[in-house]
Every structure is written in structure tokens, then in C-alpha cells.
Chain A
């Protein structure tokens, strides 16, 4: 039984470079979420997919950020022209769909991004 996986686990880049992260959710989960967590803070919601449709985006997701889930399975998060303020842990989570109820989100180990 595999949980949510993320790749890479760590990424160091120079300011201005583009980076892409990958998330593989739990196989039967149709919902996928991206969060960002900075030091000393709780995770903050970035965006959410149901199957391949991106249904919600936070105002935190500037034009430099784009997320895709082309076949409703894995997802990628790309950051263009990285800035030092983008340094954070990027967490992916997945869950089953359905109205109400717990529908707890299962989190991956995260990708730690450092922008120099």
C-alpha cells in the first residue's frame, strides 16, 4: 500500500530559474491538493483538483505558479522565475471525493524548495 509520493524531496535553485515538482496521489483518490508551508507556519492552501479539473485556486497562487493534473492521476506544480520568497515546503495531499464527512486528506512527504 503506497501513500502519496512527491518528487524531488529537496530542490535548491537560483533565483530566476524555473522548477517543477511532481505528486503521485493514492491511486483511488480523485481529489488532489497543493499546499505551501513556510517555517513556523501551518500549511496554506494553493490549489485543488477533482480528477483533471482544477476547481479552486488560492490568491497565493500568482501568475508564476501553474499546476496541472493532465490525466487525473499525478500532478505537477511549476514555479517560473523563482524568487527567494518562494522558499518553502510544498505539500501535496489527496482524498476521496464526496460531499461532507471526514474525507481526510492524506499528505505526502513534501518537496523542500530553497531559492538562493
Chain B
């Protein structure tokens, strides 16, 4: 079974600062993918960034980067130059590819608040 752990229920960051949201995962499979989604108060889940288990370089997408440490089973999201619009719930999720798996397993999320 797969498990995602997000230990930070809430985080505060000042505008223009960088922030790291923690995510650890547990799986015995070797082939998997890690995803981060943003959920604003409107409720829609917005895909941010992806990291494959065999990717050697950390993924980056604009202001988002993923700090992937495979041996520690962690996949932390780094948001640089925070903006007020970044205030939202952030979810880490995993998909295991062995056996053709398709479902995403989500963590409990981190509520990020960006302050002036």
C-alpha cells in the first residue's frame, strides 16, 4: 500500500519569500510518480509539478521546484518568490506504475498563507 505524509497542517510565508512544503512517501514499488496539486478556496485541484522515480534531476516548473530525495523518500515542494495568489491548500500525491496502477494517493495537505 502507498502512503503520503504531509506533516505541516499550515504554513505562513511573507510575500516574495521562498517556502518549502514537506512531503514524505512510502511505497515498496520502484516505479512511481510524485505530483503536487494546489487547491484554492474555489475547490478545483490544479496540477503544479511532477517527478518520476527514475528522473535524475529535480523537476522545475516556473516558480515551483521539487526537491526529490529518493533515499529519504521525500518530495518537498519549493515555491520561490511567493505571491498572495499562492495562498491555498497544497497536496502531495503519488501514483504507482507497477501493474498499470492509475489512482493517485493523496496526503492530508498543507494550508499555505502568504502575507504582505
Contacts and interface: CB of A to CB of B under 8 A. Distances in A.
Tell me whether A and B are bound partners. Answer: yes
Contacts of B35: 102, 104
A107 B45 contact: yes
B102 A31 contact: yes
Nearest to A47: B103
A43 B100 contact: no
Interface residues of B, number: 26
Q: What's the interface size class on A, roughly?
A: 20 to 34
B33 A102 contact: yes
Nearest to A9: B43
Interface stretch (A19-27, A63-71, A74-82, A93-101): A93-101
Interface in B17-40: 31, 33, 35, 37
Contacts of B45: 43, 91, 93, 107
A89 B109 CA distance: 15
Interface string A25-60: 000000101010000111111001000000110100
A17 to B, nearest CB: 23
Interface string B56-79: 000000000000000000000000
A91 B45 CA distance: 9
Residue from B42, B93, B102 with most neighbouring chain A CB atoms (10 Å)? B102
5 contacts: A33-B102, A33-B103, A43-B91, A101-B52, A110-B44
Interface of B: 4, 31, 33, 35, 37, 42-47, 50, 52, 91, 93, 95, 97, 100, 102-109
